[in-house]
Amino acid sequence: MKRITLITLIFLFSLVSISFAHKLNVFAYIENGKINISSYFVDGTPCKNCTITLYKNNKEIFRGKTNSEGELLIENKWNMPIKITSEESLGHKGEFVLEGEQVNENKGSEAIHDNYSKDINLSISRKMIEDIVKAEIEKSLKPYKIYMGIATLLGFFGILMLFKKR
């Protein structure tokens, strides 16, 4: 009975690592009237040549591919919200909903601000966004690393127990 329990635990922990391996993250923001889209795996590796699709009211409005750094830059011609999906050839998929900016026909792209943000001039660089994204990835990987450590130890001791019983 203990043997079946041990095998079941090892199997369950291996499923946790498989589910993290299939996660594909998508991040997008608007800067200077352009939509900047980044697509990357859970470990931070860029998703090269991933298919990026934009949807407005469940209708496809744009389709393109990411570059070797997992990024795509396109002109913003649409009102928000826009759903952005990223698909990799092996079936990994992620999505992101971009909200908060509207296209003004006379003035190009103009951000919607509330009364408080009119007086504040915010400047966010690409490096700052990359640092924030990397920090968030590290936060999300901590539980994964703990699970993998426990699964490795259980697997090691499970194999050790099998050899001791023989």
Residue of 89, 47, 93, 92 whose CA lies nearest to 66: 47
Q: How many CB atoms lie within 10 A of CB 8?
A: 10
pLDDT in tens, 42-66: 777 888 889 999 999 989 999 999 9
**Within 13 Å and on the Cβ side, how many CA atoms surround 38?**
15
pLDDT in tens, 104-150: 433 333 344 343 444 444 556 677 777 788 777 777 767 777 788 88
pLDDT in tens, 70-96: 899 999 888 888 899 998 887 788 888
Taking phi first (over 0 means left), then psi (-120 to 50 degrees means alpha), and beta for anything else, what does residue 18 get?
A: alpha
Whole-model pTM: value is 0.52
